[in-house]
Amino acid sequence: MVHLTTALEPGSGVPLYEQLYRSLAGEMRTGALPAGTRMPGKRRLAAELSVSVNTVDTAYQMLAAEGYLAARERSGFYVQEYLALPQVGPDARDPSPAPAVPEPAAPEPPVRYDLSTRGVDPGLFPFRTWARLQKELLYSSPELLTNGDAQGDLALRQALADYLAEYRGVQCGAHQVVVGAGLEYLLGLLAPLLHGTAAVETPGYPRALQVLENTGMRCCCLPVDEGGLSLDALDRSGAAVCYVTPSHQFPTGVTMPAGRRAELLHWAARRPGQRYIIEDDYDSEFRFDTRPLPSLQGMAGADGPVVYLSTCSRSLAPGIRIAYMVLPEHLLPAWHAKYRLYSGTVSRFEQQTLARFITGGYFTRHLARERVAYKARRDALTAALNAAFAPGELTLTGLHTGLHLLAHLRNAPPDAALHAAARAQGVRLSLLSDYDLTGSGSTAPGTFVLGYGSLADDACPSVGETLKKALHRRKGLLVEGVTPGLLVARQDLRLDLRFVVGQKFQRTVQCVEVQCGQVGQQRSAH
């Protein structure tokens, strides 16, 4: 018979049975109470610890329930076999020295202007209409609290099929539409249905590449020119799957012309059932100056080699988490075989709200208001940039569609320096090199990718000046108080700079000395 020395603390706030349970379990784990040990009787242990028999019984029952003890009829409780947990001490650790802990990074300055490409304006969200539709559903459709179909609710799939047919020329039925929580999720489900190497655009969407590689798919990165993905490179790659953003290539903003779209479809048609095109139509709703080109899927047909992907993250809000894809007819059996046991990943209330939002005509009116607002913001931003920079210093492209534009800075310093300069001024932005999926540095340096989706309207004028200030300081062009033809400096200040004058020539000003109180008097030789 074992003798226990467990000590309990009645005033600790932890129940006595819990204290006893923890103490005994700890001894069993460490081997202090070896397997086969007969535990003291309940009354004896209760008397030794000055507790009630119920306290001991409760602790024993808890230990038995967890497998520490086993009750034997008319014999009592016995300790069960327990493999002690390995102890990690100084002698058991890896003898190699621990890596040095890096110093904590300096705090980033607060973001004054968000020019990231994923931002949208939450103020444009149709709060009242959305809330009213959801309230109606909440009181009238309690069945929406149940699990949904893996493809999404039929009402939403039908609404999306009708909308896509009218506005994007997509040819499909509701049975071909799959609804999911984001493009990345849907792309991850799609990839196992396809086989072979996948070609992706570079510069391109890093998340798409990451998702495809995460599924085990081998990927190759192919260059983009003024017409989109290079088809010559695609032919040479040996790829069987092609991921493209033809309506608004991300991030360059170019649109694939109709001729190249036809060539891309011919590439897939040469090996039917073996080659597929994944068409990411992520922001086709925001084409400002011309009518949008029809989708690749619409050109290929309902059973063509194109899988159509799009999302409501830009048109509504990223937090809604509703994306969708349209599968070719012949891929549906493979889809159902693989995913028929899955449950829907989007709230049915959100799905049904969006369905009513579309069928009630609210969606198209909402998009019309958004296009007006975003076009005005684009125009304000471009005007501010053109006013802040000298003619020819900043070239803007990709203005016709989407929620971002490209700005190429002439004679730009390295991209890393531009990033640092923008951060120092509280400007969050990306550079084209951030989307170089090969890491080769082949993208045009000094090219900013400026998103204006989340930019406040009244911030546009100051963005241009702030960006100019940051970039010119980094380039060494800005001097306090400098205006064209005028140099202001403090006494005995010596400068070595290159000053670009508007007449397309440069002067190198060396050792400029300005006496205190004198302005603009240059005393050095040019």
In a domain, 364, yes or no: no
- Residues of the chain whose pLDDT is less than 70? 1-5, 83-102, 104-106, 473-526
What's residue 373's pLDDT? Answer: 94
What's residue 148's pLDDT? Answer: 85
Same domain, 471 and 506: no
The DSSP H or E segment spanning 350 is helix 348-359
Same domain, 240 and 294: yes
Pairing label, strands 113-114, 276-280: unpaired
What's residue 88's pLDDT? Answer: 59
Looking at every residue in the chain, the average pLDDT score rounds to 85
In a domain, 130, yes or no: no
Contact 428, 455 (CB under 8 A): no
How many CB atoms are located within 10 Å of the residue 180 CB? Answer: 26
Same domain, 298 and 401: no
In a domain, 358, yes or no: no
Same domain, 204 and 58: no
In a domain, 426, yes or no: yes
Same domain, 183 and 219: yes
Closest listed residue to residue 123, CA positions, set 458, 521, 518? 458
In a domain, 129, yes or no: no
Q: What share of the chain is helix, strand, coil (3-state, %, to 5)?
A: 40, 15, 45
Same domain, 517 and 497: yes
Full residue range of the structural domain in which residue 34 is found: 16-79
DSSP string, 92-138: TS-SSPPPPPPPPPPPPPPPSEE--TT---GGGS-HHHHHHHHHHHH
In a domain, 143, yes or no: no
CATH code for the domain in which residue 51 is found: 1.10.10.10
What's residue 524's pLDDT? Answer: 40
Count how many domains the chain has: 4
Same domain, 405 and 422: yes
DSSP letter at 144?
G
What's residue 143's pLDDT? Answer: 87
What's residue 497's pLDDT? Answer: 33
Same domain, 413 and 501: no
What's residue 128's pLDDT? Answer: 96
Same domain, 450 and 512: no
Same domain, 251 and 330: yes
Q: In what order do the strands lie in the sheet with 404-409?
A: 394-397, 404-409, 447-451, 430-431
Same domain, 324 and 182: yes
What's residue 101's pLDDT? Answer: 67
In a domain, 326, yes or no: yes
Same domain, 238 and 192: yes
Domain boundary among 345, 362, 388: 345
CATH code for the domain in which residue 462 is found: 3.90.1150.10
CATH code for the domain in which residue 215 is found: 3.40.640.10
Per-residue CA distances from 88 to 92, 93, 94, 96 (Å): 6, 7, 10, 15
pTM of the model: 0.77
